[in-house]
Amino acid sequence: MCIEAIVMYAMLCGIGKVACVAFGLSTQERRMRLATVMLVLALALTLAITCSATIINVSPGGSIQAAITSASPRDTVLMANGYYTESGIQMKAGVTLTSAGGDTSSVIIDAIPACACVLYIVDCGDTTHLSGFTLSTGFGTNGGGIMMSNSSPVIENVRVFGCMADHGAGIYLTNSSPTLTNCLLDQNLAFVNGGNLACFSGSDPDVVDCTMMHGTAGERGSSLFCDDSSPTITETSVCAGSASGLGDGIFCTNGAAPTLTNVTFMECQSLNDGQCVYLELSAAPTFLNCCFTSSGLLAPSLVHGADASIAPTFSNCNVWGFNSPPLYSGTIPNQTGSDYNINADPLYCSNTYCDAWVDAASPHLPENNDAGLLIGRYGEGCDSPVEAISWGAIKAMYR
C-alpha cells in the first residue's frame, strides 16, 4: 500500500506538469485541472507518510532501548505486558512508547539493579507519546523516574513510584512543558527539592487529573517544587507528604507563577511554616477553587509567604486546619472572607490518604458555598449506609 502511494505520487507529479501546459484548454479549465491534480497529489503524499509508521514489539527480557533506537518518527514501541528491568532509556522524538494493556499495571519498568534514572526525554516535541506503564526505583541527581529537558511530550496513564534523586525524584523538568494526564506520582524521595515533581527553568507542564502522594523532600516541596516555572495544574490531588522541609504540598520560588484549579491538598504534614504552601522570591501562584487541609500535626501555619515580593491569588479556596493552627502567616494576610475564601471542615468521606470525595453537606459543593463552584478535585461521593438484613428477612418480603 505504501509503495503504491509513493508510485502514484511520482506519476502524478509528471501528470501535474502536463496539466499545467495542456494545449487546447481555456485558462479556467487548466486551473481547474491543475487544482484537481494537486488535491490528489496531497492525498497520495499523506497516505505515503501515514502508512510508513510501524509497530515494534518488545517482550519482557528484551531491550526497550533497542526497540526505541530502531524506531523512526511515528513508529510505536509496543511493550508486551509484564516486568522489565532496565534503566537509562533514551526516548526518541516522534516515537510512541506504550503497553499492550494500556494501564499502569500492564508494564513495570524497574531500574534495579542499575541504580540509574529510568527514562530520559531530551529534545522531544508533542508528537512523542508515553502511556500505560509504571517506572520504579530509579535513582539520579536530576530525576529518578523521568529526567526531561527541552521537551513537550504527551504522557498519559503513567505511574512513577519509589524513585530517588536530589531534585525531582519522580519527574524532573528543565525548560520542558509536557502534558501529564491521569498519572500517579507516588512515594518518590528527593534529597533536596521536589519529591514527586520538580519544575525548573521555564518549565510549564499541563497537569490534568493526576494524583501526587507520599512524596518526600529533604528541603523544599515534598510533592511539588516550582522554580521560575508556571505549570497549569487542574483537577489533581496532592496528599500525604513528609514532615520534613518547607512546603509539603507546593513550594514556589524565583518568580514561579503556577495556576492551580480544583486541586485538593490533603493531609499536609510539614512541621514548618507553610505546611501546605510556601512562597518566596516573587512567586505569584494563582489558586482557584482549591482546598488545603492539614494532617492534624501541629504546624505554625498552612500557607506561608517568606517575603514581600510574592503576589499570590486565592479565590474560592478552603484552608482548614484540624488542630486550628494559624491559616496564613508571613507576608500573606488572612484570606478568609475575601473573594469567597473560607475556613470550614470539608467533610471528607474518609480519612484515607487522597480520598477527596465529600459528604452531601460539604462546603465544597456548589450548592453549599457562596461562589456556587466546586472546591477541590471531587464532589459528593460518600456511600450511603446499608442496613444489615438477613437472608430469611429477604425471603419473607416475597411470601
Q: What is the pLDDT of residues 275-315, one digit of tens each?
A: 899 999 999 999 999 999 987 666 778 999 999 999 999 99
Is the C-alpha dihedral spanning 363, 251, 303, 371 positive or negative?
A: negative
**What is the Cα–Cα distance from 335 to 330, expressed in whole angstroms?**
13
Does the structure show a pLDDT above 90 at 184?
Answer: yes
Does the structure show a pLDDT above 70 at 140?
Answer: yes
Q: Which CATH superfamily is domain 55-368 in?
A: Single-stranded right-handed beta-helix, Pectin lyase-like (2.160.20.10)
Cβ atoms 96, 73 nearer than 8 A: no
Average pLDDT of the residues in 160-185: 98
Q: What is the pLDDT of residues 216-242, one digit of tens each?
A: 999 999 999 999 999 999 999 999 787
The phi and psi torsions of 83 (rounded to 5 degrees) equal: -110, 125
Beta pairing class for 303-305 and 171-174 = unpaired
Name the β-bridge partners of 252: 226, 279
Question: What pLDDT score was predicted for residue 24?
Answer: 58
Question: What pLDDT score was predicted for residue 30?
Answer: 56
Average pLDDT of the residues in 352-367: 91
Does the structure show a pLDDT above 90 at 11?
Answer: no
Torsion, Cα of 262, 254, 279, 150 (10° steps): 30
**Which one has a higher pLDDT value, 63 or 396?**
63
Q: What is the pLDDT of residues 313-355, one digit of tens each?
A: 999 999 998 666 679 999 999 999 999 999 999 999 986 768 8
Nearest-10 crossing angle of helices 27-50, 2-20: 160
Q: Read out DSSP for 357-371?
A: -B-TT-TTSGGGSTT
**What is the Cα–Cα distance from 275 to 121, expressed in whole angstroms?**
32
**Which one has a higher pLDDT value, 176 or 296?**
176
Cβ atoms 116, 140 nearer than 8 A: yes
Return the H-helix or E-strand segment holding 69: helix 64-70
**What is the Cα–Cα distance from 191 to 23, expressed in whole angstroms?**
77
Cα atoms found within 13 Å of the Cα of residue 15, Cβ hemisphere only = 15
113 DSSP assignment: T
Beta pairing class for 76-79 and 96-99 = parallel
Nine-digit cell string for 396: 419473607
Cα atoms found within 13 Å of the Cα of residue 112, Cβ hemisphere only = 7
Name the β-bridge partners of 109: 84, 135
Q: What is the pLDDT of residues 12-70, one digit of tens each?
A: 444 444 444 444 556 666 556 666 545 645 554 454 444 579 999 999 999 999 999 99
**What is the Cα–Cα distance from 196 to 222, expressed in whole angstroms?**
7
This model's pTM is above 0.95:
no
Question: What pLDDT score was predicted for residue 114?
Answer: 77
Question: Which residues, 6 or more positions from 38, have their beta carbon under 8 angstroms from its beta carbon?
Answer: 16
Name the β-bridge partners of 121: 148
Domain ranges within the chain, ordered by starting residue: 2-49, 55-368
Cis peptide before 258 (omega within 30 of 0): no
Taking alpha carbons only, the member of 179, 193, 310 closest to residue 251 is 193
Q: What is the pLDDT of residues 78-127, one digit of tens each?
A: 999 999 999 999 999 999 999 999 999 999 999 988 789 999 999 999 99
Nine-digit cell string for 297: 500535626
Question: What pLDDT score was predicted for residue 326?
Answer: 79
Q: Which amino acid is at 399?
A: R
Name the β-bridge partners of 305: 279, 330
Neighbour-count burial of 382, counting CB atoms closer than 10 A to its CB (0-12 exposed, 13-18 middle, 19+ buried) = middle
The phi and psi torsions of 386 (rounded to 5 degrees) equal: -110, 125
Taking alpha carbons only, the member of 75, 177, 77, 76 closest to residue 125 is 177
